[in-house]
Amino acid sequence: MTEVNRPPRVGGWTRFVTAHPRLSLLVALVLTALAVVAGSGVADRMGSGGWEDPNAESTYATKALEREFPASQPNLLLLVDAGSASVDDPAVAAEARRLTERLAAEKGVTGVGSYWQADPASAPALRAEDGHEALIAARITGEEKEMGETLDRLAPEFRGAHGPVEVGVGGPVAVRHEMQTTIQEDLIRAEVIALPVTLVLLVMVFGSAIAALLPLGIGIVAILGTNAVLRGLTELTDVSVFAMNLTTALGLGLAIDYALFIVRRFREELATGAEPLAAVGTTLRTAGRTVLFSALTVAVSLAAMLLFPQYFLRSFAYAGIAVVLLAAAAALILLPAALVLLGHRVNSLDLRRLFRRGRPKGAGQESGQASGQASGATQGGAWTRTANLVMRRAPFFALGTTAVLVLLGLPFLGVKFGTADDRQLPSSAESHVVQQHIRDGFPGSPGGGLEVFAEGRATQAQYADYKKRIAALPDVLRVDGPLVKGDSAYFTVLPKGEAVDEPAQRLVGELRAAKAPFDTEVTGTAAVLVDSKDAIAEQLPLAAAFIAIVTLLLVFLLTGSVLIPIQAVVLNALSLTAMFGAVVWVFQDGHLSGLLGFTSPGSIETTLPVLMFCVAFGLSMDYGVFLLSRIKEEYDTTGDHDQAVRHGLQRTGGLITAAAVILAVVMVAIGTSRVTNTKMLGLGIALAVLMDAMIVRSLLVPAVMRLTGRATWWAPGPLRRFHDRFGVSEGESNRPTAAPTPDPAQERDKVSARG
């Protein structure tokens, strides 16, 4: 008797899950409920900053100024509008002084000053050029959460009409707080949009409502679990609220990808006549291994962000790694338990029958399994024809798609990097309105100047000589100060033009190079940007090398080929060109800004391209692993390279496209956010995912593999033996268990000889 019909062995946790499916689901339900409790309120504990390098000179100077000169770092600005009157009108001045004194008396507020109390040297910077508006500046103290609570208490008391003036609330703390609130509101709306649309698409893909609900359930478990993980991390380190968007997107997207792959393979096994337990075992040894490798490749891409010092990027690594591993764990542990219990009922409730017309009586009663097979055959035939066409015209498709992708990426050559400011918010947001008034109407961009912190004992003459020297620099509009306290002092340097444009960034270098008889450190918006760019440039080669090396190793372990991992990395990177080109063309240059509802700042926030690359590269590898695993399985079985490529595209083309469309829907829902960076992240990755699935996986990969032919599978002897010992692939499921296992290296040599 052969072992073909015996239930396959399933090891570890999956053996327990398939043996005790009800208990496994009950435990999962309890853990999910605990995750809901543990993750509640996580967004309120997250920060909305994290773009700066904590080890940079600008960060050191900022903390020193906060400690020694709190008034030098105002984070709250009250815009006092006198209407048609002048800010010097006695009634306006009296009310403004009253507001200033009232603000100074508030708990948690320090360093309060205003145009009406400023010294003559700095007063012009606090008065609008038309004379109808002026500023009250202050600093709210404490951690980010405390500052938000203080702002919530103060803002209703100060905004609005006060006698002859109207007051608006702005400044960095107001921008960050409003951004955090907006993101939380937008995330709820994105989930409301994404979940029902995703369910409809899953029903269209599977036909069966039961099968469609499984991926959605896995996604919800992954999201709730990740929220609990992030809540725990907020007790240990800073976590950006922006990471919540990635949690939702990847939680739904990857869980659906993994569940699609597993459920699809399970239904295929059922269609061959296998019993449910045997079908689950085969599915886990084949599709399950692919899911595990896919999760590892995505996690590797996201883990690269841990190498950067900015907690904004590190937060996405925390959230991304957690949600990827939880999605894979749920797909490999909970999903098998559900499939064992459902068995053939996974094909129940075929909702597509409602839309079928013109069939003989009784045709509508066909099983979900049969309809799924018919649908799969139709789709498989279409993908087979696509593969045949691409492979017949391989040079044309390889060169053509590469040229198109490179062309779409050309706008990125003109990228300009900047910082996230109030223009991330909708134009109607109060803090955006206030900051725009300041940007347009006040000289020298108040609040956007550079501060020079001086340490070491010095004389007034030395301070005066240094001030004269830096005032003579070509990009300086005005120098205020110094304000001296003990052995420390600071100067405020207002640059010409915008606070973070090229002259301001150049001025940072000029100030740091200026000689002084004391130690100096430069901070301010432009200095933070310069330091952030330097930190990213320093770590970028290491991050890219980490992603490339680990990805090459993982793909080699999956395929046993030297060339395929190289192809995977290069083609994956190429698939992202359209995303980067679109980001610059749309969000930097402002095309479609009216349609998409955002204000273009004329630059891209420095950390966004790194984040988008890591996320999109990981998702591209996700689809690449799905395709390559089926190609490898067929090649191991037949030894026919061209047939293996056709078979792989036939079996996974529709699945990858469906998964990409569903993930794109989730990302577009995230892209409906009113915060520009989140909109850019969602829409950019949606474009990258669709381009990868529909262009790279469907056209470029088969064309390149046709051109490389059998050389695709070549590996030197030592690496072949390494793969034979440590590698894993879906093809192992097709090897007979009763017969002796031949030496894989010898078998490959025989296949090569026959070729």
pTM of structure: 0.84
Q: What is the DSSP letter of 141?
A: -
What residue spans of 272-367 are helical by DSSP H? Answer: 276-303, 311-329, 335-342
Task: Indicate the burial class of 556 (C-beta count within 10 angstroms; 0-12, 13-18, 19 or more).
Answer: buried
**Tokens (6 digits) for 398:** 């390889």
Q: Which range, 12-26, 562-576, 733-747, has the best average confidence (pLDDT)?
A: 562-576
User: How far, in Å, CA of 568 to CA of 556, rounded?
Assistant: 10
736 pLDDT band (50/70/90 cuts)? very low
Position 516, amino acid: A
pLDDT > 90 fraction of the chain, expressed in percent and rounded: 40
Is the predicted pLDDT of residue 136 greater than 70, yes or no? Answer: yes
pLDDT value for 448: 67
Task: List phi, psi (to 5°) of 165.
Answer: -125, 160
Position 276, amino acid: P
Is the predicted pLDDT of residue 537 greater than 90, yes or no? Answer: yes
Question: Structural domains in the chain?
Answer: 75-170 (3.30.70)
Q: State how far the alpha carbon of 253 is from the alpha carbons of 238, 299, 676, in Å.
A: 26, 14, 22
343 pLDDT band (50/70/90 cuts)? confident
Q: How many CB atoms lie within 10 A of CB 277?
A: 18
User: How far, in Å, CA of 514 to CA of 52, rounded?
Assistant: 24
List pLDDT tens digits, range 82-119: 999 999 999 999 999 999 999 999 999 988 988 998 66
What residue spans of 304-334 are helical by DSSP H? Answer: 311-329
List pLDDT tens digits, range 580-591: 999 999 999 999
Q: Which residue has the higher pLDDT, 531 or 261?
A: 531
Sign of CA dihedral 70, 72, 78, 84: positive
201 pLDDT band (50/70/90 cuts)? confident
Calculated CA dihedral for residues 333, 338, 340, 343, nearest 10 degrees: -150
Is the predicted pLDDT of residue 739 greater than 50, yes or no? Answer: no
List pLDDT tens digits, range 433-462: 999 998 888 876 666 689 999 998 889 999
Residues 6+ apart with CB under 8 A from 701: 567, 571, 624, 627
Mean pLDDT computed over 229-242: 87
Q: Which residue has the higher pLDDT, 33 or 373?
A: 33
pLDDT value for 64: 92
Tell how strand 450-455 and strand 519-524 pair up: antiparallel
Is the predicted pLDDT of residue 376 greater than 60, yes or no? Answer: no
**Tokens (6 digits) for 603:** 């630059």
List the single range of 35-49, 483-497, 583-597 with lowest mean pLDDT: 35-49
Mean pLDDT computed over 404-425: 92
Mean pLDDT computed over 672-680: 92
Residue in the structure block whose two tokens are 């992202």: 576
Is the predicted pLDDT of residue 360 greater than 70, yes or no? Answer: no
> C-alpha 372: how far from its chain's center?
34
List the single range of 14-18, 65-69, 520-524, 707-711 with lowest mean pLDDT: 14-18
How many residues in the chain? Answer: 755
Q: Which residue has the higher pLDDT, 695 or 348?
A: 695
User: How far, in Å, CA of 157 to CA of 151, rounded?
Assistant: 10
730 pLDDT band (50/70/90 cuts)? low
Q: Do the Cβ atoms of 368 and 207 come closer than 8 Å?
A: yes
List pLDDT tens digits, range 289-318: 888 888 988 999 999 999 999 998 999 999
**Tokens (6 digits) for 130:** 């038309």
CA nearest neighbour of 580 among 405, 400, 418, 699: 405
Is the predicted pLDDT of residue 502 greater than 50, yes or no? Answer: yes
Q: Roughly what angle, to the nearest 10 degrees, separates helices 641-670 and 368-392?
A: 110
Residues 6+ apart with CB under 8 A from 673: 182, 183, 186, 187, 190, 245, 679, 682
